[in-house]
Structure 1
């Protein structure tokens, strides 16, 4: 059974923003990055998965259930780092652990204390006295210590320094290993930091201004897009071409390197250099493609 299943999901806030339609499935045992600019709908998606917001249309299923109708049964299986935490200001890290620990059957006080120690968070210090980075580390520790089957992490490394970010990514990898071979865990994390995607994600969900641009296997996505520098400049249309930059040599961007290469060879065009695109470039092309398709549909 899929951990998450969305079918034609839509959620609007007034006339200003609409998420969707979104249709996707997340299988157990994978790390999925939700990538997009600020305001693209990442936090809205997480709130829908937790039952904190209701979809206007479509279907949301988490562990096969509707989170808006079975909140308690689902939430005790999910560890969550919100984008903005409220209501914690006067509680210490130790008090937060005591409170959250009562809500989760697999809570590990030992793991929580160890995560706080690594982060340098004083268990006796109030939440509102911590720096932004330390608050994120504390919320992250709370989520991991729940021992949940699913983690929903909304910009978990926002405000932390690069060294702390690397530690947190390592802790996500350790969490995925679980406590035994029969324990299968899943992570969905929102980020706009591409290096985080490179390091830990198995799959990538792209969002842009509420538009769902697709769910992709990360390695296949990176392998499927190439920069090709060719001579002479080819005439006419070629399969897979997304962008052409005239020059000597001419640079081509393709999302079908095999087909493009065969067509170039048939025309006697030589590839003098080839290089992968990074995820930021791919996201930019997907965003432009999505906008172009939307404009065509409105004509």
Structure 2
């Protein structure tokens, strides 16, 4: 099956600074890929190379099987893109800009446009120069989501939006996902990625440090177990696979390796348990693991 995005050994430098050192990952048809990393890690540089805005120094970048730089015009006919800071024409209204973007792309759904304007609570009659950053983002999102594309590239798309509007965005992306469309979502809001993504790609200092499904990546981090029981709960600290053991009276909390879970459960079963709670590792746990220190 052909990948919609296929990046192999991508490298890009700006003068002496090497922004991308060796980036490789794919986005399959119908897949939502969360692309995460802190500011300066190389997310936007990678995305601009995918879009054909920047030319690579080495490696290969293909979108729909075509070269991202040489075939960018053809590629753009089939994708929608929202940057983290949408720049608009100040003397045009928000509605005029949305319609212009939709006309340039083709495949416009004006009923969906009107529905999104209402959901995002945008006044399309105001001139763009009067818009806040959040409202500029809304214009970009409404335009991108109101056309039919095979691939949606969203680079920090909710930057400047309040939590209510973030929830609206997530609902709309979920609809696109359910329709079988592919999405590359770059975001610093880890809960957003966790809710929407099928696969996560973590970039650090221009290199991909982890990639896989959330289920696969969760095997690399530890769950947290909280337990209240009668008996010698302190003995649990001696078990293999138990870390960061904390005890307060008969309540204990500790991290566990998933591979040791059966042995720990066997030991817990011998106690008179009053409370038992296991919290699986979050995407934030995985992210912090790669960036602390």
Structure 1 residue 247: deviation in Å?
A: 5.5
Q: Work out whether residues 83 and 154 of structure 1, in 8 Å CA contact, stay in contact via their aligned partners in 2.
A: yes
- Relative to structure 1, is the Cα distance of residues 252 and 117 closer, same or farther in structure 2, using a 3 angstrom cutoff? closer
Query: Is it true that 1:121 corresponds to 2:125 in the alignment?
Result: no
Q: Work out whether residues 223 and 279 of structure 2, in 8 Å CA contact, stay in contact via their aligned partners in 1.
A: yes
- The alignment yields a C-alpha RMSD, in angstroms, of 2.7
Looking at structure 2, the residues matched to 222 and 93 of structure 1 have their Cα atoms a distance apart, in angstroms, of: 42
For 1:26, the equivalent position in structure 2 comes to 27
Mapping 1:78-89, distance limit 5 Å? 78-89=79-90
Please give the secondary structure, in 2, of the residue aligned with 1:102.
helix
Please give the secondary structure, in 1, of the residue aligned with 2:67.
coil
Looking at structure 1, the residues matched to 282 and 222 of structure 2 have their Cα atoms a distance apart, in angstroms, of: 9
Looking at structure 2, the residues matched to 195 and 10 of structure 1 have their Cα atoms a distance apart, in angstroms, of: 29
For 1:245, the equivalent position in structure 2 comes to 244
Structure 1 residue 191: deviation in Å?
A: 0.7
Instruction: Encode CA deviations 1:135-187: one digit per residue, 9 max, x unaligned.
Output: 11111011111211111111111111111110110011122233xxxxx3111
Point out the structure with max Rg over C-alpha.
2
Query: Is it true that 1:197 corresponds to 2:196 in the alignment?
Result: no
Query: Is it true that 1:208 corresponds to 2:208 in the alignment?
Result: no
Structure 1 residue 43: deviation in Å?
A: 1.0
For 1:296, the equivalent position in structure 2 comes to none
Query: Is it true that 1:276 corresponds to 2:277 in the alignment?
Result: no
For 2:7, the equivalent position in structure 1 comes to 6
Looking at structure 2, the residues matched to 37 and 245 of structure 1 have their Cα atoms a distance apart, in angstroms, of: 27
Mapping 1:52-67, distance limit 5 Å? 52-67=53-68
Moved more, 88-97 or 142-151: 88-97
Question: Structure 1 length normalisation: TM-score?
Answer: 0.81
Structure 1 residue 110: deviation in Å?
A: 2.4
Mapping 1:103-118, distance limit 5 Å? 103-118=104-119
**Residue segments in structure 2 that go unaligned for 5+ positions in a row:** 226-233, 270-275
Q: Work out whether residues 99 and 143 of structure 2, in 8 Å CA contact, stay in contact via their aligned partners in 1.
A: no
Q: How many residues are treated as equivalent by the alignment? A: 273
Question: Structure 2 length normalisation: TM-score?
Answer: 0.82
